[in-house]
Amino acid sequence: MTVAVVDTGVGEQSPALSGRVTAEGEAGKDCVGHGSFAAGLIAGAPTGSGAVTGVAPAARILAVRGTDEYGNGSAQLVAQGIESAVDNGAEVVYVGLALNTGDDELARAVAYADSKDALVVAPAAPDVVPDGADGKPDTRARKYWPASIPQVLSVADYGPTGTRPEDAPAVLAPDLAAPGDSVVGIGPEGSGHFIGSGSSLAAAYTAGAAALIRSYQPTLSAAQVSRRLLEAAYPDEVPKLDVYAGMTVVLPPRGTTAGAGTAPAHLPPAAPQEPRERSLLLGGGALVVVLLVGAAIVIVPRGKARRWRAAA
C-alpha cells in the first residue's frame, strides 16, 4: 500500500523508511520533523536494537508538503496535497494538520479523494491548544478541518491511562481514538528517537492500520476500511483503535439487522390461570389438614390424661 503523508515533509534519509519514500518536490526534506515522525508511526521498519516499528512496516510513503518549509500549514496547501497524493496512487492519505479555516476548499479535495477510493485520515484537533483572538489559549471544543468533513476519519489521542491529557486541546465528536500521548518515533535522519504527543500522532497510527487492512483485504473500498476500523474498535465514549480486530472481525452486511430475512418467532400462548388457582387451593387445604392433625396428636393425649379437666 502507498500512504501519502501530507505534512511538513518526510526525510528520505531516515533508516526506518529507507528505500520506501517517494517525495513530491521538496517534500523529501523535513526541517520540522513532524512529517517524518508520523511516517515512522505509519510505516517505520526495524533497523536494529531498540528500533521503532510502525503499524504497517512494509507500506510505501508518498511525501507531500501541506505546509511551508517552516511548518506553517494552509487550507490551500493541504487541499493541493490531498489531490496530488490521490493522483499519484495513494490508497490512504494521512493529513497531519488540523486547520480552523478552509472547509469548502478542503471539502472539494476530500470529495476528489473519495471519488478515487482513497481514505483520508486526519487529527480531530491540533497538538497544542490554539490561541484565541485575545492571545490567550482557547480551550473550547470546535470544528477543525479536514477532520470535520464526513468522509474523513477523524482521530483523537489518548494516553497510557486510557484518557486524554488534561492540557490536550478539546476535541469535538471525533470518530476514533488512538494512542497519542508520549509516543516514541523517528526523526528525518539518523537512528535517534524522539517523543511527541497529540491527535496528529493518533491519526498516524490509524492511517497505518488502514493501510494494513487494505493490504490484507485489497478488495475493500475506502468506506469499508473506515467501517471496519470504527465497528471493530474497542467500545468506549470515543471508540478506541483496535488494529487486530480491524484485521480479523467479521462484520454483518451493511444495512442488515438482527433476524433479518428469517420468519418471525411464534410464541406459545400463556398458560391458563385456572389450574394454577386450583392447585393453590388444594395445596392450601392440605396444609390446613396437616396442621389440624398435628395439633390433635399433641392435644388429645394430654386432654385424656387430665380427663379433660382444665389445667391448674
Whether residues 233 and 293 fall in one domain: no
Q: How confident is the model at residue 52, as a pLDDT?
A: 80
**Does 306 share its domain with 227?**
no
Bridge partners, residue 64, by sequence: 6
Q: Tell whether 106 is covered by a domain.
A: yes
Tell me the pLDDT tens digit for each residue of 51-90: 789 999 999 999 999 999 999 999 999 999 999 999 999 9
Same domain, 223 and 291: no
| 218-256 confidence digits (pLDDT tens) | 999 999 999 999 999 999 999 999 999 999 988 877 655
Q: Are residues 51 and 144 in the same domain?
A: yes
User: Is the same domain home to 310 and 170?
Assistant: no
Number of domain units in the chain = 2
- Pair 100, 183 in one domain: yes
Listed residues 248, 264, 284: the one ending a domain: 248
Tell me what percent of the residues of the chain surpass a pLDDT of 70: 92
Q: 226 in helix, strand or coil?
A: helix
pLDDT the model gives residue 257: 46
- Which phi and psi angles does 99 have, rounded to 5°? -105, 150
Residue 49 has pLDDT above 80, yes or no: no
Which of 108-122, 178-192, 226-240, 264-278 shows the lowest per-residue confidence on average (mean pLDDT)?
264-278
254 in a structural domain:
no
Q: Please check whether residue 122 lies inside any domain of the structure.
A: yes
Q: What is the CATH number of the domain that holds 191?
A: 3.40.50.200
Q: What's the pLDDT at 280?
A: 79
Question: 178 is in which domain, residue-wise?
Answer: 2-131+140-248
Question: Is 9 a residue whose pLDDT tops 60?
Answer: yes
133 pLDDT higher than 90: no
Among 141, 150, 149, 188, smallest CA distance to 32 is for: 188
Question: Per the domain annotation, does 262 fall within a domain?
Answer: no
In a shared domain, residues 89 and 144: yes
Asked whether residue 145 falls in the same domain as residue 211, the answer is yes
CB 254 within 8 A of CB 274: no
Q: Judge if 212 and 287 occupy the same domain.
A: no
Is the preceding peptide bond at 160 cis, omega within 30 degrees of 0? Answer: no
For residue 302, pLDDT beyond 90: no
Query: Is 205 found in the same domain as 81?
Result: yes
Answer yes or no: do 174 and 290 share one domain: no
Q: Check residue 292 and give its pLDDT.
A: 82
pTM of the model: 0.80
pLDDT band for position 168 (cuts 50, 70, 90): confident
Question: Which carries the bigger pLDDT value, residue 156 or residue 136?
Answer: 156
19 has a pLDDT exceeding 90: yes
- Judge if 30 and 89 occupy the same domain: yes
